[in-house]
Structure 1
């Protein structure tokens, strides 16, 4: 099911974003009098092809869904009827050619804004950034935060959800040593300073999943007190051997009471192979049961498992429900929020690209088609709002990537046009050929890196 969702999500994402990108080129070219021959989604052999309109434009879908192209009449690609030469792309003025090339990334920028606008109107789902039990080495604990505090602002930016907190911390951590944060405690607000020295949010080893910024600062999410009720006992498990049954609640381990099922699972996990006394509560009362968690390999680490499935039942349902937020905005407010999000993500993306080029950021932060497919599937599962936000982010990234001055990309063509504008004539054919070969090499190396990152992360 996960693989199916990933495939569907990937095809939807690439199909929508590439189609809109190429339509930008297509629409502007036709409006400016350039004759279009082919509009293609994907590369390689066509799995679908048709011709439409008085000019018999070919609309096709290629076998490789990793991009697309718009083919225009061009004397550099073959003979052109003298009567049609005025419509050839190579015969157009510098401004027309630049407008046609820039239209693709511009279309993706507009599309990102539209998706974020729709997302804010549909409603953004999120989790309240309420602090739980912080570890002794947590940077948040060192800053003075305590369990129950709600983070309301980071570096002056309002924070409503956990996603907002992640973005604000990432933005603030790049190039800063300390961040002012505002928390809500006992109905009042307090300002504190979060020390981020020696924390590199863009570091990491190639092939490894970049560490979440929330994990780096030691954030722990607050959880409403809850009972851990046994929902299922697996056959031939330590739990079955100890006589545990579904419906019973595990309330204590070795005499220590727990009101956090996740902390209880971690405690059991730390006792692999050790006799452990569980306090069990049923309608008949409480009793102690001795069980030895079975050592089990989980992601290369040995943890203890007793062979039960647990269900969490909050002691305070209202407090548990208050952690989940759903916010909707009207069309005008949503557009303001979309513009703000677009600006934040554009500056963040440009900063990351700049640091990648200067070597200040690890190439472990790069992801490719496999990661896009994985995240597309997950966002589909989480609902329309999440998927819209994902589409907006990928559309923005596609626009910025295409504007980079790399041969074969739109930005590479725009760079050649800039040179032409300065020198007063087009660059030579030999230079353009070498430039194109360099682009193929760079893009090939980039694809190797992102595919390696994606596959290595999956293997981990």
Structure 2
């Protein structure tokens, strides 16, 4: 099911974003009088093709879905009827050619705004940024935050959900700043200062997912007090040997009571191969059970497992529900939020590219089609609002990537046009050929890196 969702999500994502990108080129070219010959989604052999309209424009779907193209009448590609030469792309003015090339990325920017606008109207889901138990050496603890604090703003920017907090901290870490935090504690707001200087905002290691900025500042999410109820006992497990049964609640380990199932799991995990005394509660009362967690390797580490599946049963359901937020916005407010989100993500993406270019960020942070498919599947599973936000982010990223001055990309063509404007004439054919070869090599190397990162993460 996960694989199917990933495939469906990937095809939807690439199909929508590439179609709109190429339609930007297509629409502007036709409006400016350039004849379009082919509108293609995907490359390679056509799996679907048809011709429509008085000019018999070919609409096709290629076998390989990683991109698309719009083919226009051009004398550099073959003979052109003298009566049609004025409609050839190469005959157009510099402004017209630049407008057609820039239209693709512009279409993706517009599409990102539309998706974010729809997302905010449909309703965004999030988690309240309420702090749980913090490690004493963490940056948040050093800033003075305590369990139960709710982070309301970072550097003056309002924070509603964990996603907002993550984005604000990323921006602060990239700028290597000490940022003020507005924190709500016991119903009153106070200002604290968080030091993000010297913190790698992205982290990243070949073969592993980049580390979350929230983990690197030591953020721990507050959890409503809950019982750890045994939902299932695995056969031939230490728990079954000790007589534990589904429905019982584990309330204490070695004399210490727990109201946090996750902390309880960590405590058991730290006792691999050592007998532990569990206090178990049922309708018949409490009893003590001795269990020896079995040493199990998880993500390269040996931890203790007793062979049960736990369910968290909140002691106060209302407190647990208060951690989950759903926000809806009207059309005007949603557009304002979409513009803010677009600007924030643009500046963040450009900052990340800059750090990659100067070597301050690892290439492990680059992801490719496999990662896109994985996240597309996950966002589909989480609902329409999440998928719209994912489409918006990828659409904006596609626009920015295409505007980079790399040969073969739209930005590479715009760079050639800028040189032409300065030079007063087109660049030579030899230069353009070398430029194209460099672009093919650069894109080839980029694809090797992102595919390697994707596969290495999956293998890990």
Tell me the TM-score range normalised by the shorter chain: over 0.9
Q: Using the alignment, how far apart are the partners of 2:113 and 2:30 within structure 1?
A: 24
Alignment correspondent of 1:260: 260
Contact 2:28 2:99 in 1 (8 A): yes
Alignment correspondent of 2:86: 86
Alignment correspondent of 2:459: 459
Q: Using the alignment, how far apart are the partners of 1:214 and 1:205 within structure 2?
A: 17
Q: Using the alignment, how far apart are the partners of 1:379 and 1:173 within structure 2?
A: 26
Q: Using the alignment, how far apart are the partners of 1:93 and 1:389 within structure 2?
A: 38
Q: Deviations over 1:237-274 (max 9, x none)?
A: 11111011111110000110000011111111111111
Measure how far apart 1:92 and its partner are: 0.7
Q: Using the alignment, how far apart are the partners of 1:174 and 1:373 within structure 2?
A: 27
The answer to whether 1:424 aligns with 2:420 is: no
Measure how far apart 1:56 and its partner are: 0.7
Measure how far apart 1:59 and its partner are: 0.6
Alignment correspondent of 2:355: 355
Alignment correspondent of 1:27: 27
How large is the RMSD of aligned CA atoms in angstroms? Answer: 0.8
Measure how far apart 1:175 and its partner are: 2.3
Alignment correspondent of 1:400: 400
The answer to whether 1:140 aligns with 2:140 is: yes
Instruction: Work out the number of aligned pairs and report it.
Output: 460
Measure how far apart 1:143 and its partner are: 0.6
Contact 2:202 2:212 in 1 (8 A): no
Alignment correspondent of 1:212: 212
Measure how far apart 1:85 and its partner are: 0.8
Q: Using the alignment, how far apart are the partners of 2:280 and 2:443 within structure 1?
A: 60
Which residues of 2 match residues 411-450 of structure 1 at below 5 A?
411-450=411-450
Alignment correspondent of 1:53: 53
Which residues of 2 match residues 151-162 of structure 1 at below 5 A?
151-162=151-162
Q: Using the alignment, how far apart are the partners of 1:27 and 1:447 within structure 2?
A: 29
Which residues of 2 match residues 1-16 of structure 1 at below 5 A?
1-16=1-16
**Structure 2-normalised TM-score?**
0.99
Q: Using the alignment, how far apart are the partners of 1:211 and 1:31 within structure 2?
A: 46
Which residues of 2 match residues 42-441 of structure 1 at below 5 A?
42-441=42-441
Measure how far apart 1:197 and its partner are: 2.5
Q: Using the alignment, how far apart are the partners of 1:21 and 1:177 within structure 2?
A: 36
For 1:151, what is the secondary structure of its paired residue? strand
For 2:179, what is the secondary structure of its paired residue? strand
Q: Using the alignment, how far apart are the partners of 2:394 and 2:123 within structure 1?
A: 19
Q: Using the alignment, how far apart are the partners of 1:420 and 1:193 within structure 2?
A: 50
Alignment correspondent of 2:41: 41
Measure how far apart 1:423 and its partner are: 1.3
Measure how far apart 1:203 and its partner are: 3.6
Q: Using the alignment, how far apart are the partners of 1:379 and 1:87 within structure 2?
A: 43
Q: Using the alignment, how far apart are the partners of 2:366 and 2:129 within structure 1?
A: 27
Measure how far apart 1:202 and its partner are: 2.8
Measure how far apart 1:362 and its partner are: 1.6
Q: Using the alignment, how far apart are the partners of 2:354 and 2:259 within structure 1?
A: 47
Q: Deviations over 1:273-312 (max 9, x none)?
A: 1111100001111000011111111111111111111111
Measure how far apart 1:321 and its partner are: 0.3
Q: Using the alignment, how far apart are the partners of 1:331 and 1:101 within structure 2?
A: 31
Measure how far apart 1:101 and its partner are: 0.3
For 1:199, what is the secondary structure of its paired residue? coil
Contact 2:368 2:450 in 1 (8 A): yes
For 1:348, what is the secondary structure of its paired residue? helix
Q: Using the alignment, how far apart are the partners of 1:353 and 1:309 within structure 2?
A: 43
Measure how far apart 1:356 and its partner are: 1.3
Q: Using the alignment, how far apart are the partners of 2:252 and 2:324 within structure 1?
A: 28
Name stretches of at least 5 consecutive residues in structure 1 with no aligned partner. none
Measure how far apart 1:422 and its partner are: 1.1
Measure how far apart 1:205 and its partner are: 2.7
Q: Using the alignment, how far apart are the partners of 1:413 and 1:94 within structure 2?
A: 11
Measure how far apart 1:355 and its partner are: 1.6
Measure how far apart 1:208 and its partner are: 2.7
**Structure 1-normalised TM-score?**
0.99
Name stretches of at least 5 consecutive residues in structure 2 with no aligned partner. none
Q: Using the alignment, how far apart are the partners of 2:423 and 2:310 within structure 1?
A: 72
Q: Runs in 1 of length 4+ with deviation above 4 angstroms?
A: none
